[in-house]
Amino acid sequence: MPIVRTFVSLPAGIERMPMPLFVGYTALGSLVWNATLLFAGYQAGDNWQTVEQYANVFTALGLVLALVLIGRFVAIRVRARRRATAAGSGAPAEAEAAAEAVEPTGSAKSAQAAPHAEEGAPTA
């Protein structure tokens, strides 16, 4: 899924994902995707054109899923910043922590979640 691989680094960079973890997940995802295509092509034999057609469908579905997930990510971030601004705190880190403390079902996570580091502070 070339399009997804092109843009997957953007949210990873925004969230400051550690490089070794990003590389590991990227390699694992590529391995699974390529192994699936290899297996499908091997099983199809001379009918490999059929695999190509289905691969295009799965690529399109993957792109739609990625766009939905990116849209959800952006919406959560925007809502958190608006809440912080409306509350008068003006602290995006606090708003992000509040957004992460609410699961998609609306229930609160444990209050023992680790606080976010301050902007610009080194992380270990």
pLDDT in tens, 19-41: 899 889 888 988 988 898 888 87
- pLDDT band, residue 72 (cuts 50/70/90): very high
- pLDDT band, residue 68 (cuts 50/70/90): very high
58-74: b (≥16 Cβ within 10 Å) or e? eeeeeeeebeeeeeeee
> Within 10 A of 95 (CB to CB), how many other CB atoms are there?
22
Residue 112 lies in a domain: no
More confident residue, 102 or 3: 3
Question: Tell me, what's the pLDDT at 26?
Answer: 84
Question: Tell me, what's the pLDDT at 48?
Answer: 76
Residue 124 lies in a domain: no
SS3 label, residue 102: strand
What average pLDDT does range 72-79 have in this prediction?
90
- pLDDT band, residue 111 (cuts 50/70/90): very low
In the chain, how many domains are there? 1
Residue 11 lies in a domain: yes
Residue 122 lies in a domain: no
Residue 57 lies in a domain: yes
Residues spanned by the domain of 33: 2-98
pTM, full prediction: 0.41
Residue 104 lies in a domain: no
Residue 108 lies in a domain: no
- pLDDT band, residue 112 (cuts 50/70/90): very low
Q: Alpha-carbon distance 71 to 63, whole Å?
A: 12
How far from the centroid of its chain's Cα atoms is residue 12's Cα? 7
Mean confidence (pLDDT) of the chain:
73
Residue 115 lies in a domain: no
